[in-house]
Structure 1
Amino acid sequence: MRFLITGATGALGGAVIETMLKRIPPDSIAVLTRNEEKRLAFQARGLPAYQGDFDDISSLEKAMKEVDTVLLISAGDEGDRMRQLRNVVDAAKRVGVSGIAYTSRSLRDPDSLSNALMADHFATEDYIRDSGLRYTIFRNALYMDVIPLFVGKQVFETGIIQSAGMGKVAFALRKEMGEAIANVMLDEGCENKTYKFTGDSAYSFDDIASALTDLSGKEVNYTPVESAAFETILINKGLPVAMAGKIIDFNADIRNGQESEVTADLARALGRPPASLKEGLKILFGL
């Protein structure tokens, strides 16, 4: 069995690879990267490494030769993301790959999303199912790792201000999601299943503030504000309007319960409970 991991240089792809390396030899794990220096670093560790990207069809097909399963870690929002993701699926089908796994998002209702970018995940899921390839869909919760980005470096002085209301998120650590993805791919292959990888509880920003207060001994408060007011705050901080809009949309989906579903899939794939909010925040904030 040989795997191809796209997004190999990212934190999620890296966690998948490091877990796999504990169980299978490096020459069973091919990687695709845009960066030649990083390709050479992978190659030096014994991993078949290819330079290319989702827009380069020939590089995709070259990397997929002799591969049984492709892990398609979703592209960012630069360029034509849907076309890029379809390029990977089409190449896998042409080359004769037997299965494809995709990292999607755990969201309650694709028809009522505020963040339009998230809808691409569900369209990609449909495209994969329609391709005829065997598949595994990993619907991942919002990474707990993004909390420091959401609340800011000065959280212990300023508190938390967001427009998410008391909406909750089933946060989980990205490293644990990568570990779970690797375990499923190694133990089950692609069996036309969909997993929802979430934490074992869902938390509001008020819960995050309370946890940070307990961990640090400093009072951290959460102040929910309306979307328009929060957008003004973000723009006044110097964020580009487009970026502020994305954050507002994320908050709207949280406020509307899109991110709150909790399942036991991650715990089962890990073979243990995932990190709690306090355990994760302790790591992420160095507390």
Structure 2
Amino acid sequence: MTIVVTGATGSLGRLIIDHLLSRGTQPQQIVGVGRNTAKLAELDALGVSTAVVDYADRASLDAAFAGADTLMLVSGSEVGRRVEQHSNAIDAAKAAGISRIVYTSAPQADTTALILAPEHKATEELLQASGIPFTLLRNGWYTENYESTIAQARATGVYLASSGDGRIASASRTDYAETAAIVLTSDGHEGAVYELSGDVAWDGDEMASALSHVVGRDVVFSSVSPEEHVAALTGAGLDEQTAGFLVALDGNTRDGLLATMTGDMKRLLGRPTTPLREGLAAIA
């Protein structure tokens, strides 16, 4: 069996490969593809086959997928271009005779109002139309998304957000990567849709408490309005579009769209997910 992992030079894709190797998959059974040649060279040194691939370059996809059995389709990072890019990858997989696709989607992608979901919903529809057996890993929120928050809390003693009393069931990226590796290397997942999240949904005060332990100073949660949040972000140097996007995500949090806990990831892992404080400490 040969597994192609897209986005292998990104954080999630590389971790998936690490977990595949730790679970006993032989390096020569893995093809890591991406655009960063320096990071691909690191995989080469482990014995993993690699290829330089651009989602927009169909020929590069065709060459990389040739002879593979399974595609780990890690969703692209270019918001607004994902549907086209994923379509190219799915078409190349079909042409190569790949018999299984595992895709990293978004929570409740087919029904949610989450701002990030539409491109994932469209990709799920492409997978359904492809005729290739697939598994959906609807990844929830990553604790690593708060890397800059740690620095802010260390400097100011404040965790500022417009999420109100909303909760987030985040988990560490390695949890999601290990789950993907388990699905890739075990049977019984065809057609499955896994809603993946952390075991605990935390609120702003609980995040502030976790940050206090990690940065070694008291951190308080400053709950602001969306308008105040935009002003704070643009005042810190963010452009209005990025600030608006981040504030919209906090709005999704207020609406409870990132708080769902199904226990799917804990069951697949056979262990609890990484607690918030531990995950933040690993980042710090």
Worse-superposed segment, 225-234 or 35-44: 35-44
Structural mapping, 1:1-287, within 5 Å: 1-22=1-22, 23-77=24-78, 80-107=81-108, 110-113=111-114, 115=115, 117-149=116-148, 151-156=149-154, 157-188=156-187, 190-214=189-213, 218-285=217-284
Contact 1:100 1:190 in 2 (8 A): no
Given the two structures, how large is their TM-score scaled by the length of structure 1? 0.92
3-state DSSP of counterpart to 1:31: strand
Provide Cα deviations, 1:42-101, integer angstroms capped at 9, x if missing partner.
Answer: 223221211111001011011111111101111112562211111101111111100111
Q: 1:206 to 1:242 in 2, by over 3 A?
A: same
State the AA in 2 paired with 1:34.
R
Given the two structures, how large is their TM-score scaled by the length of structure 2? 0.93
3-state DSSP of counterpart to 2:151: coil
Q: 1:34 to 1:3 in 2, by over 3 A?
A: same
Provide Cα deviations, 1:151-184, integer angstroms capped at 9, x if missing partner.
Answer: 2513143311111111111000001110111011
3-state DSSP of counterpart to 1:274: coil
Deviation of the 1:17 alpha carbon: 0.4
Instruction: Write the distance in 2 (CA, Å) between the matches of 1:8 and 1:183.
Output: 17
Contact 2:143 2:173 in 1 (8 A): yes
Q: 1:211 to 1:42 in 2, by over 3 A?
A: closer
State the AA in 1 paired with 2:224.
V
Contact 1:100 1:135 in 2 (8 A): yes
Provide Cα deviations, 1:173-221, integer angstroms capped at 9, x if missing partner.
Answer: 0011101110111012751111111111101121111223355553211
Instruction: Write the distance in 2 (CA, Å) between the matches of 1:44 and 1:129.
Output: 36
- Across the aligned residues of Structure 1 and Structure 2, the Cα RMSD in angstroms comes to 1.8
State the AA in 1 paired with 2:281.
K
Structure 1 gaps of 5+ residues are none
3-state DSSP of counterpart to 2:135: strand
Instruction: Write the distance in 1 (CA, Å) between the matches of 2:80 and 2:119.
Output: 13
State the AA in 2 paired with 1:262.
M
State the AA in 2 paired with 1:83.
E
Deviation of the 1:107 alpha carbon: 4.3
* Count of matched residue pairs: 282
Worse-superposed segment, 18-27 or 263-272: 263-272
